[in-house]
Amino acid sequence: MRKLLVILFLLLPVCFLLAFQKENLRDIYSRPATGWPKPWVDEGLSWTELGPLPPGPLSGKEDSLKDIIHLGKILFFDPRLSASGKISCASCHQPQLNWTDGKAKAVGHEGAMTKRNSPSIANTWFYRRLFWDGRSRDLQDQAFAPIISESEMASDMPDVMIRLRRNQNYRELFKKAYGNDQIDPDRMTGAIALFEKTVISRKSRFDQFLEGDRKALNNAELRGLHLFRTKARCMNCHHGPLLTDNQFHRTGFSGDDVGYYKLTHLDADSGKFKTPSLRDVMQTGPWMHDGMQPDMPAILEAFNRADQPGIRNNLIKPLGLTKKEKADLLAFLRAISAPAVDFFPPVLPE
Ligand code: HEC
Ligand code: HEC
């Protein structure tokens, strides 16, 4: 009996040690985020922890705004806003392609090639400035641009107004939305912007993990999450629940586009672009402002080597990631990418 007790007593610390060793990434990241390892973010940078998809800005208010949102949705899908009558906002921001067009660069009026890649409109309510170069301050202001842009929808605003005002069904839709049938650019873009604020991502597997489903991520994805926050340094710019710092950086993918310089006219900002949200990123390629990156492993290798010409960015340094670590990082990007939402395009008024 005594012998047994001694053995038990000796076994106790061993069990304790074993239990302690089992503390793996899954356990660590199953804790509330306040208990996660500190990310490798440079001194002095402000950052927010990764987190579950936040509710959209209109969540809870959608019922009282439903007629304006409905009008905005119709306008978003209506090619009559374009000069040719063939191109709608949804031509370049297609719901079934996670609100992008799958092309490197957007193709607009009469096949005109634009300079940039069509970004997703999901979660854009979150950006402090819109467009890759930040030249627009909010969604309503942004909505004017493509309608009158020669390479996109190539319309004249007065023409668009005439077309909408002539349409009895549109007059009724505006009346239902705003109380009277006055149709003006402000109301039109306001409705489009309101609709866009309802467009948010589907929950990803990473969200499910954060909400307590410990099995939602596999081991490679968990290692990828840890790398993303630490050795791979992605958190220096892609942080918070939307995985963007809402800032502009030069990452070496600039080509000859001056980017943010167009807004600030400061030499230091030349070649900077908005840090895009990485939600659903595996669904929105080809990537970067110019759509010139069709290959995600090549993007990760570029960040890993940090030797592209023109990087000039203290936040981007060689990372020394192994092949396995790059595969893990890629696995994590998959885990934050949700498939397109089931979306039913509206019936357009006659
Ligand atoms: C011909 C294709 C095309 C059409 C049509 C089009 N867009 Fe875009 N959209 C783009 C491209 C390309 C960009 C990025 C341009 C840039 O950053 O310079 C963009 C950017 C945006 C952004 C900013 C996203 C961000 O992350 O900053 C929003 C919002 C948007 N478009 C909404 C709309 C709306 C609303 C319409 C219709 C009124 C529309 N788009 C029509 C191609 C298009
Ligand atoms: C210094 C800030 C910074 C860091 C660090 C950073 N990124 Fe980015 N990332 C950006 C910016 C800015 C862009 C847009 C660049 C462009 O379009 O030319 C971008 C673009 C991307 C894109 C393309 C997204 C799209 O929609 O086209 C991916 C993917 C990406 N980053 C992943 C990562 C990963 C993974 C890491 C870590 C290895 C990382 N980034 C580190 C700032 C950063």
- Ligand 1 pocket residue status of 92, Cβ below 6 Å: yes
Pick the CATH number of 66-197 from 3.40.190.170, 1.10.760.10, 3.40.50.2020, 1.10.150.300: 1.10.760.10
Q: 84-114 b/e with 16+ CB inside 10 Å = b? A: eeebbbbbbbbbebbbbbeebbbbbbeeeeb
pLDDT of residue 309: 74
Of ligand 2's atoms, which has the minimum distance to the CA of residue 117?
27
pLDDT of residue 23: 62
User: Taking the domains of the chain in order of start, what are their residue ranges?
Assistant: 26-53+203-335, 66-197
- Ligand 1 pocket residue status of 93, Cβ below 6 Å: yes
Q: Please tell me the CATH code under which domain 26-53+203-335 is placed.
A: 1.10.760.10
Of ligand 2's atoms, which has the minimum distance to the CA of residue 248?
12
pLDDT of residue 33: 96
- Ligand 2 pocket residue status of 233, Cβ below 6 Å: yes
Q: How far apart are CA 10 and CA 311, in angstroms?
A: 58
- Nearest CA residue ID for atom 3, ligand 1: 92
Positions in the chain whose pLDDT score sits under 70: 1, 4-23, 310, 312
C-alpha 275 to ligand 2 mean position (Å) = 6
| pLDDT tens per residue across span 76-90 | 999 999 999 999 999
Place of tokens 């202001």: 141
pLDDT of residue 3: 72
pTM: 0.93
With a CB cutoff of 8 Å and minimum separation 6, the contacts of 133 are: 248, 257, 258, 259, 260, 261, 262, 263, 273, 274, 289
Amino acid at site 131: F
Decide if 26-53+203-335 and 66-197 have a common fold.
yes
| pLDDT tens per residue across span 15-70 | 555 555 556 999 999 999 999 999 999 999 999 999 999 999 999 999 999 999 99
- Ligand 2 pocket residue status of 271, Cβ below 6 Å: no
